[in-house]
Structure 1
Amino acid sequence: MVSQEIQSEYVYKKEKKKQKPKSRIKWNYVDSDSLVLYKDGTFHRTKFYHYHEILYSELKGEWKIEKDTLILNIKLEKESKSDKKWNEINSTITYRIKKRKIKPINGIEFYAIQNLKLVKK
């Protein structure tokens, strides 16, 4: 395995434990999203959501920055952690770059309200 040098890393994580007062039913809510940009122009993104159902996805592709916009060109996708095979796709997501976070502009998740926060640069 070859290690790659990290250019930037962005993370969003939200965890909550909820309980209904009378029935005392407890459940967890987890929303996690991480994006790693490598110096060679590639990226790896992992999303995990657990609330009513478990959703998981991994994305790989190439990235570039034009003006204050981060453009992710998605080439490969995996929809389950146990999947061995990557599916080829062709999609683009764009983000507005702020000082310490990125905000989705359009693409498959332009409606998302979470902003990925910069943790490593």
Structure 2
Amino acid sequence: MKKIIFILIFSLLANVVVSQEIHKKYQYKSKKTRNSTGWNITDLDSLVLYKNGTFHRTRLFKFVKTFYLELKGEWKVKNDTIYLNIRHKKENKSDTKWTKMNSYLYYVTKKRKLKPINGLEFRATHYLKLLKNK
């Protein structure tokens, strides 16, 4: 009986220590299809900011080829600017290992959207929209 209680308490404590609470979640989704020519465009982008100061970003773009990118690292906010310090990236969904890198992305918060300041998406036509805010 004591072992069962110990295992139960240990599992609850481990769940609290390991789990990450979401601070904010931003997402962009666009799907365009056309039947006669058969083209299909999918554009998905999500950014999750965790309360412990880390983030996870997933980007997927499908047209003729598939572009996939996952980023993770640390984030911080100064004034209305979000600074993402990218530590690891994965360029293929089937990859099991993360590639180390050191790069930065900056976003300005405009109402419920993120507008990129620098990086590859500096001239982006879409903005990430806030989904969850606690």
**Interval of TM-score (by shorter of Structure 1 and Structure 2):** over 0.9
Report what 2:92 is aligned to: 80
Question: Structure 1, residues 57-115: CA drift from partner, whole Å, max 9, x if none?
Answer: 10000000000100000000000000000000111000011111110011232122210
Q: Deviations over 1:22-78 (max 9, x none)?
A: xx3312110000000000000000000001210001000000000010000000000
Q: Do structure 1's residue 96 and structure 2's residue 112 form an aligned pair? A: no
Q: Could you say which structure has the higher strand fraction? A: 1
- Partner in structure 1 of residue 118 of structure 2: 106
Contact 1:93 1:108 in 2 (8 A): no
Counterpart of 2:30 in structure 1: which amino acid?
A: K
More helix by share: 2
Q: Distance in 2 between matches of 1:77 and 1:108?
A: 15
Contact 1:13–1:32 (CA under 8 A) maintained in structure 2: yes
Structure 1 gaps of 5+ residues are none
Q: Following TM superposition, where does structure 1 have runs of at least 4 consecutive aligned residues deviating by more than 3 angstroms?
A: none
Equivalent residues, number: 117
Alpha-carbon separation, structure 1, partners of 2:125 and 2:103: 20
2:42 is the alignment partner of 1:34: no
Q: Which consecutive residues of structure 2, in runs of 5 or more, have no partner in the other structure?
A: 1-14
Distance in 1 between the 2:39 and 2:87 partners? 35
Could you tell me the TM-score, scaled by structure 1's length? 0.92
Which one-letter code corresponds to 2:70 in the other structure? E
Mapped pair 1:57 → 2:69 = yes
Are residues 1:6 and 2:22 paired?
yes
Q: How many percent identity over aligned positions?
A: 55
| Structure 1 counterpart of 2:34, from 5, 12, 18 | 18
Distance 1:36 1:46 in 2: 9
Q: Distance in 1 between matches of 2:121 and 2:97?
A: 23
In 2, the alpha carbon distance for the partners of 1:75 and 1:108 equals: 17
